[in-house]
């Protein structure tokens, strides 16, 4: 039973968008599709342990969900007319278009952008409400209410589940890009306490970005996002050691990086930059490219990295961008001005574990171990990801030994 549960969970996390998209397109209702697929998952958990897993588990779930949806419609007075209309159709088969249709539909401009992103994460990535709340740094009840309201608005406004026409892309694209980026980030380094990374989710983010780039080949920010995720994903084999511990960039074995993937991503990025339409994802990809192309950590052109953060900040005026810029300042200018930059962000980032971790590193570099230890201990308190907690625990131990 445990094996079946794990399989169903994995299918949900990797194929939720295409399955929900296929059902939602046919039913014209996200909530009905969600209910039907939930019924199908329950049926799978009941039958697969005894009957065995079907050859096409995803197809089985969609077909079973389709039948469950028809049963619900026939029992519903309002839905009987629709049931009669769609019952003769064959069960839908999920595909790439369904996944993108789901993302674009959830990113409808009638919804507020936070609701767009949250709902699409829920529908397209298989993340739980708790995981999405953690990614947004909001309480679980707040996120549950936001998702419920967004789904209700989709239903009440009769928003269809189709890839929009080209003239509609501009209104939805910022949220679509944000969703794919968040899907990748959640896989790259999980926000929860149960797993340090979710590589299948990171791969899903890369694949979604590539599909979107194929759909919109003349959108430089789409290409920028695809290049960014490809560059990060190219380092996947070197990011954790055999014990599951984080390996920081300066310690990674660059021979494990996927050099061919890096080359392809850089070519994609260069083509996007030549369009002359700068954007935040192109800037981020440029920073990732500088790291990926450096022969070693010491050879990194930190002045150029810092300059790219200066370009990024007006496009994405986030304190986290300034925190990352401060890390570049340390190597481009020195730890004293870097610490001043970090301390200036204290009001906005006091609850962010990486702000405290950055302070700890800078204070240690300035030979202020007592203050560094206090900052590292606070970072450990705030960190949720098990691998980050293990890393900060090691850092705390090192600093204690220095005292």
Q: Are residues 78 and 125 in the same domain?
A: no
Q: Are residues 120 and 64 in the same domain?
A: no
User: Which of 93, 124, 151 lies at the terminal end of a domain, its last residue?
Assistant: 93
User: Which of 78, 93, 108 lies at the terminal end of a domain, its last residue?
Assistant: 93
Tokens of 76: 């519903």
Segments of the chain scoring below 70 in pLDDT: 1-2, 13-14, 17, 25-26, 28, 76-98, 124-127, 135-137, 159-164, 189-200
Q: Are residues 63 and 197 in the same domain?
A: no
Residues 262-273: pLDDT tens digits?
Answer: 999 999 999 999
User: Which of 39, 67, 93 lies at the terminal end of a domain, its last residue?
Assistant: 93
* Total tally of structural domains belonging to the chain: 2
CA distances from 7 to 196, 197, 335 (A): 19, 18, 48
Whole-number Å distance between alpha carbons of 354 and 376: 9
**Tell me, what's the pLDDT at 194?**
47
Q: Are residues 195 and 315 in the same domain?
A: yes
Is 73 within the bounds of a domain? yes
Q: Are residues 22 and 147 in the same domain?
A: no
User: What is the reported pTM?
Assistant: 0.75
Q: What is the CA radius of gyration of the chain?
A: 23
DSSP string, 139-195: -HHHHHHHHHHHHHHHHHTT---SPPPGGGHHHHHHHHHHHHHHHHHHHHS-SSSS-
Beta strands in 5-146 (DSSP E): none
Q: Are residues 101 and 89 in the same domain?
A: no
Q: Are residues 117 and 86 in the same domain?
A: no
**Tell me, what's the pLDDT at 375?**
97
CB neighbour class for 286 (10 Å; exposed up to 12, middle 13-18, buried from 19)? buried
Range of the domain at 47: 4-93
Is 13 within the bounds of a domain? yes
**Tell me, what's the pLDDT at 76?**
66
């Amino acid at each position: 039973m445990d094996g079946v549960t794990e399989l169903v969970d994995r299918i949900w996390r990797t194929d939720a968008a295409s399955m929900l998209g296929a059902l939602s397109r046919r039913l014209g209702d996200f909530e009905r599709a969600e209910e039907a697929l939930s019924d199908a998952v329950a049926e799978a958990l009941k039958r697969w342990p005894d009957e065995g897993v079907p050859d096409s588990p995803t197809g089985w779930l969609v077909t079973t969900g389709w039948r469950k949806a028809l049963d619900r419609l026939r029992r519903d007075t309002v839905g009987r007319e629709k049931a009669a209309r769609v019952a003769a159709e064959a069960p839908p088969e999920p595909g790439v278009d369904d996944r993108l249709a789901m993302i674009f539909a959830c990113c409808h401009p009638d919804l507020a952008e936070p609701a767009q992103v949250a709902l699409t994460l829920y529908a397209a990535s298989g993340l739980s409400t708790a995981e999405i709340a953690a990614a947004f740094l909001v309480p679980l009840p707040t996120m549950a209410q936001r998702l419920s309201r967004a789904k209700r608005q989709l239903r009440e406004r009769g928003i269809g589940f189709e890839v929009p026409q080209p003239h509609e892309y501009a209104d939805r694209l910022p949220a679509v890009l944000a969703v794919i980026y968040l899907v990748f980030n959640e896989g790259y380094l999980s926000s929860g306490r149960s797993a340090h990374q979710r590589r299948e989710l990171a791969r899903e983010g890369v694949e979604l970005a590539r599909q979107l780039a194929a759909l919109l080949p003349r959108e430089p920010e789409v290409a920028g996002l695809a290049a960014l995720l490809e560059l990060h994903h190219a380092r996947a084999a070197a990011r954790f050691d055999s014990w599951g511990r984080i390996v920081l960039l300066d310690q990674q074995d660059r021979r494990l990086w996927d050099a061919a993937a890096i080359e392809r991503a850089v070519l994609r990025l260069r083509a996007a930059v030549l369009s002359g339409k700068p954007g935040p994802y192109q800037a981020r990809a440029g920073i990732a490219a500088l790291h990926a192309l450096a022969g070693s950590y010491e050879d990194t052109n930190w002045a150029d990295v810092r300059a790219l953060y200066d370009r990024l900040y007006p496009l994405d005026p986030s304190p986290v961008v300034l925190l990352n810029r401060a890390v570049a300042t340390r190597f481009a200018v020195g730890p004293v001005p870097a610490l001043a930059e970090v301390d200036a962000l204290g009001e906005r980032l006091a609850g962010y574990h990486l702000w405290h971790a950055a302070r700890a590193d800078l204070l240690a570099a300035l030979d202020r171990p007592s203050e560094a230890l206090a900052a590292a201990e606070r970072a450990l308190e705030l960190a949720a990801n098990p691998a980050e907690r293990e890393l900060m625990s090691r850092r705390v131990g090192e600093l204690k030994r220095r005292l």
